[in-house]
Amino acid sequence: MYEQILPANSQVLIDRATIDQAILALAQRMNAEFAGKDVAFLTIMNGGMIFASALSTRLNINMEMDYLQLSRYGKSQTGGQLVWKYQPEINLNNRHVVLCDDIYDEGHTLAAAHAWCLEKGALSATSVVLIHKQHDRTYADYKPDYVALDIPDHYIFGFGMDLEEKLRHLPEIYYLPQD
């Protein structure tokens, strides 16, 4: 269906059924952990929007939703300087914050967002990601609290993740094999 917009040699890395199963399992764990707590659910944009939508509709917890925008990539495939583009308007004081992002790659974005939430008075800041890339380039000692899927170290796109700011809307996760 997407052949006309996919780059040549694109391969499906994770199909939609696998993504859906992983999100459901994650939601079940989070429903148990956050039962009875006042939660601020923050989507890290733009990448986290599709994953956050899929996950949030499966959560049965008391939560208010907002977003933040903090980026290292822009139109590049490699990270650069962290840039805050938007900070959430909801009050985080004395609340449990869930930070929802598409991918844990090196950890810069989530580490910065986590620290910011605690500075704003959050009781806790928990990170949840769809994808955790397996490599040794992690930043400091920060790790996400919840991970739906682990993958090898590929540049991926689809299901919220972009290829030069495009193709986030694809329902599966793709990669380009190295020649």
pTM of the predicted model over 0.85: yes
State the Cα–Cα distance between residues 176 and 119, nearest whole angstrom. 39
User: 129 lies in which domain range?
Assistant: 11-175
Q: How many CA atoms lie within 13 A of 117 on its CB side?
A: 31
Q: What is the CATH number of the domain that holds 140?
A: 3.40.50.2020
State the Cα–Cα distance between residues 177 and 9, nearest whole angstrom. 7
162 to 11, 61, 74, 77: CA distances (angstroms)? 15, 29, 10, 9
pLDDT at 35: 97
Task: Give a yes or no: residue 37 inside a domain.
Answer: yes
Task: Give a yes or no: residue 106 inside a domain.
Answer: yes
Domain count, the chain: 1
Task: Give a yes or no: residue 6 inside a domain.
Answer: no
Task: Give a yes or no: residue 4 inside a domain.
Answer: no
Task: Give a yes or no: residue 2 inside a domain.
Answer: no
Instruction: Per-residue pLDDT tens, the chain, 179 aa: give them.
Output: 788 999 999 999 999 999 999 999 999 999 999 999 999 999 999 999 999 999 999 999 999 999 999 876 545 445 557 788 999 999 999 999 999 999 987 788 899 999 999 999 999 999 999 999 887 766 557 889 999 999 988 889 999 999 999 999 999 999 998 86
pLDDT at 63: 97
pLDDT at 27: 98
State the Cα–Cα distance between residues 171 and 50, nearest whole angstrom. 9
Task: Give a yes or no: residue 1 inside a domain.
Answer: no
State the Cα–Cα distance between residues 149 and 14, nearest whole angstrom. 9
Task: Give a yes or no: residue 3 inside a domain.
Answer: no
Q: According to DSSP H, which parts of 58-172 are helical?
A: 108-119
Task: Give a yes or no: residue 139 inside a domain.
Answer: yes
pLDDT at 119: 96
pLDDT at 3: 84
